[in-house]
Amino acid sequence: MQTLQRFSYVFIIGCWIGEAATGTQSEICQEGELAKSSELLQRVPPILQSALLEFKQPPKELRPQEGGPPDFIEVAVALKGFYGADLHNEQWEADIIIMLSWYDPRVAGLVPKDETVRTLSEEQAGDMMWTPDIVVTNTELHGDRVVATSFQEDFNGKEFPYDSQALHVLLASASYMIDDVQLVPMAFVNISDPGERAFDKSDWTFLSHEMTIFNESTGSMHKSRAQFVVHVLRDASPYVQSTIFPEIMIVVLSYTVFLFPVNPGFAMPRVSSAVIAFLSILTISTRTSAMLPEVRRGLVWMELFEVVCKMLLFTVILLNILIEMVFHTWQQPELAKQLVHELRLGFPLIAGLSMAVCWLATGKRLELFCNSVRFSLLLVTILFIMTVLRRSRIYAQMQK
- Give the model confidence (pLDDT) of 122-162 as tens digits: 888 888 899 999 998 887 654 434 444 567 777 888 889 99
* pLDDT tier at 62, thresholds 50, 70, 90: confident
Cα separation, 98 vs 132, whole angstroms: 13
Cα separation, 158 vs 367, whole angstroms: 10
Q: Which residues pair with residue 47 across a beta bridge?
A: none
Q: Where are the beta strands (DSSP E) in 174-234?
A: 181-185, 204-218, 221-234
Greatest mean pLDDT among 83-92, 246-255, 357-366 lies in: 246-255
Q: Which residues pair with residue 166 across a beta bridge?
A: 231
pLDDT(254) > 50: yes
Instruction: Please tell me the predicted confidence (pLDDT) of residue 195.
Output: 65
pLDDT(257) > 80: yes
pLDDT(12) > 50: no
Instruction: Please tell me the predicted confidence (pLDDT) of residue 140.
Output: 63
Instruction: Please tell me the predicted confidence (pLDDT) of residue 8.
Output: 32
Distance set, CA 307 to CA 100, 367, 386 (Å): 50, 11, 24
Instruction: Please tell me the predicted confidence (pLDDT) of residue 45.
Output: 54
Helix 245-255 × helix 333-356 angle, to 10°: 160
> Is the whole-model pTM more than 0.75?
no
The answer to whether the beta carbons of residues 216 and 225 sit under 8 Å apart is yes
Residue/partner pairs of 59-63 with CB below 8 Å, 24 or more apart: 60/106, 60/128, 60/129, 60/130, 61/130, 62/130, 63/130, 63/132, 63/176, 63/180, 63/181
Instruction: Please tell me the predicted confidence (pLDDT) of residue 361.
Output: 86
Question: For residue 270, which of 251, 282, 256, 281 has the smallest C-alpha distance?
Answer: 256
pLDDT(16) > 60: no
Top pLDDT among 297 and 236 is at: 236
What is the three-class DSSP state of 193? coil
Indicate the length of the chain as a whole number: 400
* pLDDT tier at 88, thresholds 50, 70, 90: confident
Cα separation, 312 vs 251, whole angstroms: 7
The answer to whether the beta carbons of residues 257 and 324 sit under 8 Å apart is no
166-178: buried (b, 16+ CB within 10 Å) or exposed (e) per residue? bbbbbbbbeebeb
| The one-letter amino acid at 377 | L
Mean of pLDDT values over 328-349: 94
Distance set, CA 84 to CA 94, 235, 290, 343, 357 (Å): 8, 11, 16, 45, 30
The answer to whether the beta carbons of residues 213 and 94 sit under 8 Å apart is no
Instruction: Please tell me the predicted confidence (pLDDT) of residue 155.
Output: 81
pLDDT(353) > 60: yes
Greatest mean pLDDT among 2-16, 135-149, 383-397 lies in: 383-397
pLDDT(343) > 50: yes
Instruction: Please tell me the predicted confidence (pLDDT) of residue 133.
Output: 92
Instruction: Please tell me the predicted confidence (pLDDT) of residue 192.
Output: 57
Instruction: Please tell me the predicted confidence (pLDDT) of residue 18.
Output: 33
Longest CA span, the chain: 138
Question: For residue 330, which of 393, 386, 265, 267 has the smallest C-alpha distance?
Answer: 393
pLDDT, the chain, mean = 81
